[in-house]
Amino acid sequence: MKTLFVVDDNELDLRIIRLNLARNAVFGHVLYFNDGKPLWDYIKSNIDDTVNLPDVIFLDLTMPEMNGWSVLKSLEENYARLPKPVSVYIISTSIDITERREAMNYHFVKEFISKPLYRDKIISIAKEEEYSPRIY
């Protein structure tokens, strides 16, 4: 089973995701971050460690200290150093088509999903990640 990191500063959205993940144990290990900065610090400190890096990230774009755009840029700059591919799913309340297009320009961003993130979508992502070929 894949490892998932969830990055969002909105407690209500996190609660919905946590409940849906708890009810549907579709990821082997889940870590939660309330901002992009602790996520990026964690990734930097584990950049060579296949086991501790995520397979999948659910990433909000709007956060106070380090927003999702900065996380995407940092991932892009360091992606070649990662020992395994990481798939990112943007979770956002934004309806701005320009933001959607911009996010999809990152090769590791798989989808731009409107919040809240519900059970069926989480299960669908988990299945896709489990069975899709990992192109690096």
Residue 15 belongs to domain with CATH number:
3.40.50.2300
Residue-level pLDDT at 95: 81
- Give the sign of the dihedral formed by CA 50, CA 51, CA 52, CA 58: positive
φ/ψ (deg, to 5) at 31: -120, 145
pTM (two decimals): 0.91
136 located within any domain: no
Rounded distance, CA 5 to CA 134, Å?
18
10-residue mean pLDDT profile of the chain (136 residues): values are 93 90 86 96 93 95 94 96 95 88 95 88 87 57
Q: In total, how many domains does the chain have?
A: 1
22 located within any domain: yes
